[in-house]
Amino acid sequence: MHACSRLLSSIPSLQHAFGSASEPVPQPFEGSWPSAFPSWKQVHGTRVAEAQAAREDLGECDGIVCFVPGLPIGVTSADCVPVLASRRDGGAVAALHSGWRGTLAGASGALVHALRERGEDPGLWVAAIGPAIGACCYEVSEELAAQFADSFASMGAALAVPAARRLELRAINAWQLREAGIGAVELVGGCTRCARAADGTALYASYRREGRGKQQRSVIVAG
């Protein structure tokens, strides 16, 4: 079952949803995927593209902004951090995919910078961070953990790396968004690797649990 953000749901005319194992493409958008969407290739980078039409080729990018009502955009993930954002009036939206490489490179900050370049006031925007692998399950090398602790010391190394060799990517991206000026940030859903339904089935697709193949989409469309 897909998940939604209370923050984004409070915006009239806005539609959004975070996919899951049972709904890789959230049900509200199944009928329009992929024909109504622009096409793009995620590369674990920081480039942000602007979508203006369905089936438009955006090239390699991990962030997308859109000012066209009714044009859905989204990102694909299976442990990486999905971010959906909207101006408070629902007239403009954005989506971001941020894995460890993107997080370390400042992808969330790059998204906000792209909004500023397009004349937007980030303080009038809100963002929701969807299901992603948590520190409970995201073990990395000592070297990478040390690099994260050093890079994000200003937010508190214990928040970025809350346990030995464990990264908390969602918290880091939330911090980056707030530091860049986004008006409000909400975390939605749980850890993609270990979150389970009452019957024991996995709630989300997870690269760490299943390997390559299964993924979920996070989608947003301006009203």
Give, in order, the Cα–Cα distances in Å from 32 to each of 36, 153, 162: 5, 43, 40
Distances (CA, A) of 161 to 100, 140, 220: 12, 10, 30
For residue 175, the tally of other CB atoms under 10 A from its CB is 20
Cβ(98)–Cβ(169) below 8 Å:
yes
pTM, rounded to two decimals: 0.97
Instruction: Kindly give the confidence (pLDDT) of every residue in the chain, 223 residues in length, as a single tens digit, with 9 standing for 90 and above.
Output: 899 999 999 999 999 999 999 999 999 999 999 999 999 999 999 999 999 999 999 999 999 999 999 999 999 999 999 999 999 999 999 999 999 999 999 999 999 999 999 999 999 999 999 999 999 999 999 999 999 999 999 999 899 999 999 999 999 999 999 999 999 999 999 999 999 999 999 999 999 998 777 899 999 999 8
Q: What is the pLDDT of residue 212?
A: 79
Query: 158 vs 139, 167, 222, CA distance in Å?
Result: 15, 10, 37
Q: Would you state the CATH architecture of domain 6-133+181-218? A: 4-Layer Sandwich (3.60)
99: CB partners within 8 A, 6+ apart = 44, 79, 80, 81, 169
Whole-number Cα distances in Å, 112 to 45, 47, 89, 130, 206: 15, 11, 17, 17, 27
Report the pLDDT value the prediction gives residue 210, as an integer from 0 to 100: 84
Q: Where are the domains of the chain?
A: 6-133+181-218
